[in-house]
Amino acid sequence: MTSRRLVAQGLACTLVALISACGNYSNEDLDFQLALPQQEEIQAKLQVSLVRRDSAEYYMATRSAVLTFNAMIVDLTSFVDHVRGYPPTSRNGNQRTWGPFPSDKYPTWEIRVVMTRSAVSPTLLHMDYQVDVRPVGQDDTAWVSLLAGSYDSRGSARTGQGQIHFFAQAVRQAGYPIDDDRNLVDLDHLDVTYANAAYPKSVTMTIVNLDTAKTKSGHYAYAQAQDGSGSMTFDWHGLSDAGVLVAATMTSRWQGAGPGRADLVLEPARLALTLGTDCWGADTVATYSYRVQGNVTLGDPLSCVF
């Protein structure tokens, strides 16, 4: 699976560029600020601080997936925090531009951030934004999109639904040295969608690698209920050591107080096989555990909260 560094280093060049913005905000800039996703609003909520030596295996796997998922969200949204903190370089009607600025990581490249607002109706705001890169000294036809996003408000300016896309292969083909980060050499693109206007709130993340990569793709789907309970399904598709295309999926559900359940399913050649199940209590210790290998069952299945 692609690690949290997938986005961290891929976006590092944008962060330095944005801190040099100067000037004053206008009142009309507020729509641009409010439309941008905030980390805490689209991160997964799971009790991750409690870890014991005897914590359930699948609880630990769920915890690891949530931490990786949240770290990717932080990396993706970090640059818009800078847009919130600094005024645009230029304003043109419903468009705001930050930059272009020279890239700190790659001095022969420069970066800009462009946001465009459109009022679809008195109660609906649509916003498009993108982070572009180009070689220094080139004209506007040389800009290539590194990241793009969109947002539609629902109910208020702070709630709605949005998308974020990271285009590794597009900038790679344009000559941008993205493969200097070894964690990005297999990446084709990364997509995030979210909806936080009503419960259950949801966030999905899809990682798609190049055809030449052994791990083909990964997908996360998170949902949060109003009572604090949540769920996450995370799966990955790739080639086994024998060269067979397989898909493994773990579905985890948990209550706000901590107890939960996770099931791991393998799907070789479209034949679903449940590899195991763990249920755990508020202390994260397994109350029930099943593994298909060896047909091992421990604990009471009636202890499962799901």
The answer to whether 254 touches 46, Cβ cutoff 8 Å, is yes
pLDDT digits (tens, 9 = 90+) for 78-124: 666 656 667 888 999 889 998 888 887 889 999 888 999 887 666 67
Strands 215-224 and 201-209: what pairing? Answer: antiparallel
Mean pLDDT, residues 178-189: 86
Find where tokens 């991750």 sit.
48
Give the alpha-carbon dihedral of 233, 238, 243, 248, to 10 degrees. Answer: 0
Long-range contact pairs involving 134-140 (C-beta distance under 8 Å, separation at least 24): 134/100, 134/109, 134/110, 135/108, 135/109, 135/110, 135/175, 136/102, 136/107, 136/108, 136/109, 136/110
**One-character DSSP codes across 217-232:** EEEEEEEE-TTS-EEE
Residue 267 forms part of a structural domain:
no
Residue 29 forms part of a structural domain:
yes
Residue 124 forms part of a structural domain:
yes
**Model pLDDT, residue 20:** 33
> What's the total number of domains in the chain?
1
Q: Which of 184, 94, 79 is nearest to 132 (CA)?
A: 79
**Model pLDDT, residue 82:** 59
**Model pLDDT, residue 57:** 96
Residue 196 forms part of a structural domain:
yes
d(CA 26, CA 290): 59
Q: Determine if the pTM surpasses 0.85.
A: no
Q: Is residue 163 over pLDDT 70? A: yes
Residue 208 forms part of a structural domain:
yes
Find where tokens 């009607």 sit.
93
Residue 248 forms part of a structural domain:
no
**Model pLDDT, residue 6:** 36
**Model pLDDT, residue 25:** 41
Residue 231 forms part of a structural domain:
no
Residue 265 forms part of a structural domain:
no
Longest alpha-carbon distance in the chain: 68
What is the phi-psi region of residue 294: left when phi exceeds 0, alpha when psi lies from -120 to 50, beta otherwise?
left
Domain holding 199, by residue range, is 5-226
The answer to whether 285 touches 52, Cβ cutoff 8 Å, is yes
The pLDDT-based confidence of 3 (bands split at 50, 70, 90) is: very low
